[in-house]
Amino acid sequence: MLQKITVVLLCLVAVNGINNNNNNCSTEAHDDLIRTLTKLFTQKHVQTVSVSTCWRSDKKSRLLFELSSVDISVNFYQTAIPVYHHTWYRYGILVDVSCTQIATVLFQQASKDRLFDMRNNWILINSRADCVSSNDGQQVALETFETYLSEAYVLPESNVFLLVQTNDRDSSWDIWEGFKVSKTERIRVYRHGSASVNRLEVLDNNSVSLRSDLRGITLKATTVISEPKMFKGFYPFAETDLDIFAHMHNDMNIVLQDQLNFRMNLMIVDSFGWDLGNGSFSGLTGQLQRDECDFGGIGSFIRADRMTVIDYTVGTFYREPSALFKQPPLSSVRNICVLPFKFEVWMAMLITLVGFTVLIIFLAWMTQRFEKNGDEALTILDSVIIVHGAICQQGYTMNLNTISIRVAIFVLFLTAVFLFTSYSASIVALLQSPSDSIKTVRDLVESSMTFTAQISPYGQVYFDETDDPYLRKLYNKKMKHQGTQKFTLASEGIAKIRTEFHGFMVVSAYKLISRLWREEEKCGFSEIQLFKLPILALAVIKKSGYKDIFKQKLMHQEEVGIKNRIIRRWIPPKPMCDSSNRANQFVSVSIKEIYPMLQIYGFGLCVSIVVLFLEIGYETYTRYRAKHDDDLFYKIFGFTYNKR
């Protein structure tokens, strides 16, 4: 009996000694764990750590001391971490999964609020777990992740790491990371590295490639087609003038599928989505808001109201709606009769012709004075008529025997030939030239041009939300009264530009113009950018687990030139004007072009009739005065008649 009691006492002493040793080892291991965690948070560039554990106060104090020593702030939470910490820096969250109740509530909250993202670094530990061998670490990590995060929103963008202590004597831990490629897939774990008090080894060589491989899952995407009835589908090198940006983004998404190894299930709607007034959205934005699709298959504008319910990746393309139109002919806005020469040239011509007139008068006077042969002398009016005939290429009917006057008239007609040739050539060129009278939106509004716009999901929104008074006036004055006809197909609008004085708002019509217009017609059209719009961007669901990997791959497409290739494929450059073809263009002259000449004709006709009546009156008056031998009037106006 005594022997049995002795054995029992020895066993109790042994057990007590073992427990004391285990406690000492446990304390040392815990200190090593805290130092290792500090090293790991420092390597992740974390500035703030939220701690959710069931540790004793002394252990928490020890953790606070270590993290504060490296300028990392610490928050301790017993239950759940608040979701209002919207920070721009790296955020660390330490969770002890051995505190089962705390961990379960925390993970449910984090999954609901989608806090498993690139910004938050989750470090999981199990302070009550036994040490395991390196070979069993993967199995332990997989069981831990499946136990606590099997239903969580832990997609490739999540940063969730688990520390599993190994059997090594230097208190080292293996670091395991886990995530799911989709919400319905099973979670997978990968060895991220190892850590100890003295060293930290992170295996970053395969982390990016693992997260960029979605293992052939199917993601739902939604695109917007403004004319679903005319849509013929997406296929390589499709020839279409409708929904250009839908095709451009589809080409990018096809490349994105290959980059991330997933399949795309594409759905079609006819609207980008607008606020319905109750916080919900329609169209593409509404589907993303309700998680009915994973990402947008077409870029949409970054709007403040949409950013409350969806997120955006990176900018893709610019949508630049412009007003296309043909400038009115130059003859319709300017008097082309005075345009061939500058003011200085006109003055030089006037001085030259006046000089010739004075010279002819002088030569006629000198001839009459020295010869006195009784021949009829040139009057001032005769000299003016000769110069005028030279200008108009009409010649003269007078017989001039004096060589000096003939030489002067010869030089006059030779000069007039050069002037007339230059003037005629300039007139022909001006008849073929468009004007540049319409340069701004204000000019569009004040012109007599009609105006329509291309059918587009954003067409009405452009004019409803603009702050430009001239754009509002353009819509109210030239479009609103047309009803449903104010928005038409691109082909119809471009056809109107060819045949009418019409303006058409379109995003891209260069392909239509290149294919349908003649070469000489391409020289006459102009464009004015109406709206300065933000860049389009691919949208994803709010706090999506794919946002950053989508951003990385889309940026890579731009860096290697895929984006520019797509732009050149779907948006051709502005058609070049071939001046040689334009020179062969036949231009019909209308009444508008010759209207200034008709004005001169009418003015001259009226003047001639007035002069006729004056002459009749003068003749009547002279006959009346002849009876009274009054020659006063004849002395004043007699220079206009030949005296014998």
In angstroms, what CA-CA distances link 26 with 21, 30, 52, 123?
8, 6, 20, 20
Boundary-marking domain end, from 431, 460, 479:
431
**497-521: per-residue pLDDT in tens?**
888 889 999 887 888 888 888 777 7
In a domain, 548, yes or no: yes
Query: Are residue 189 and residue 216 in the same domain, yes or no?
Result: no
Q: How many Å apart are CA 485 and CA 516, to the nearest integer? A: 23
**82-96: per-residue pLDDT in tens?**
555 566 788 899 999
**pLDDT range class, residue 473, cuts 50, 70, 90:** very high
In angstroms, what CA-CA distances link 9 with 18, 21, 23?
14, 18, 21
In a domain, 244, yes or no: yes
**396-429: per-residue pLDDT in tens?**
777 676 788 888 888 888 888 888 888 888 877 7
Taking the CA atoms of the chain, what radius of gyration do you get in angstroms?
Answer: 46
**581-610: per-residue pLDDT in tens?**
555 556 666 777 777 778 888 898 999 999
> Which is more confident, 350 or 550?
550
Q: How many Å apart are CA 204 and CA 196, to the nearest integer? A: 18
Q: How many Å apart are CA 482 and CA 66, to the nearest integer? A: 74
pLDDT reading at 268 higher than 50: yes
Query: Are residue 57 and residue 193 in the same domain, yes or no?
Result: yes
Query: Are residue 171 and residue 101 in the same domain, yes or no?
Result: yes
In a domain, 479, yes or no: no
Query: Are residue 308 and residue 423 in the same domain, yes or no?
Result: no
> Which is more confident, 213 or 132?
213
Boundary-marking domain end, from 431, 447, 474:
431
Percentage of the chain beyond pLDDT 70 is 84
> What is the mean pLDDT of the segment spanning 206-225?
87
Query: Are residue 312 and residue 337 in the same domain, yes or no?
Result: no
CA atoms within a 13 Å half-sphere pointing along the CA-CB vector of 466: 19
Query: Are residue 627 and residue 599 in the same domain, yes or no?
Result: yes
**559-568: per-residue pLDDT in tens?**
999 999 999 8
- Mean model confidence pLDDT for the chain: 81
Q: How many Å apart are CA 180 and CA 184, to the nearest integer? A: 8
Percentage of the chain beyond pLDDT 90 is 29
In a domain, 523, yes or no: no
Query: Are residue 218 and residue 350 in the same domain, yes or no?
Result: no
Query: Are residue 63 and residue 178 in the same domain, yes or no?
Result: yes
**184-206: per-residue pLDDT in tens?**
899 999 988 888 888 888 876 56
- Give the CATH number of the domain where residue 294 resides: 3.40.190.10
Could you tell me how many helices (H) and strands (E) the chain has, helices first? 21, 19
**pLDDT range class, residue 207, cuts 50, 70, 90:** low
Task: Note the pLDDT of residue 240.
Answer: 67
Is residue 119 within 8 A of residue 83, CB to CB? The reply is: no
- Give the CATH number of the domain where residue 128 resides: 3.40.50
Task: Note the pLDDT of residue 381.
Answer: 80
Number of domain units in the chain: 4
583-607 as b/e: b if 16+ CB within 10 A: eeeeeeeeeebeeeeeeeeeeeeee
Query: Are residue 174 and residue 48 in the same domain, yes or no?
Result: yes
Range of the domain at 364: 331-431
What DSSP character marks residue 15? H
In a domain, 126, yes or no: yes
In a domain, 625, yes or no: yes
> What is the mean pLDDT of the segment spanning 346-351?
84
Query: Are residue 159 and residue 41 in the same domain, yes or no?
Result: yes
In a domain, 529, yes or no: no
Boundary-marking domain end, from 376, 411, 431:
431
In a domain, 418, yes or no: yes
Task: Note the pLDDT of residue 335.
Answer: 74
> What is the mean pLDDT of the segment spanning 259-268?
94
> What is the mean pLDDT of the segment spanning 284-300?
94
Query: Are residue 335 and residue 313 in the same domain, yes or no?
Result: no
Worst-scoring range by mean pLDDT, 262-271, 374-383, 455-464?
A: 374-383
Task: Note the pLDDT of residue 16.
Answer: 39
> What is the mean pLDDT of the segment spanning 547-573?
91
pTM: 0.73
Query: Are residue 550 and residue 613 in the same domain, yes or no?
Result: no
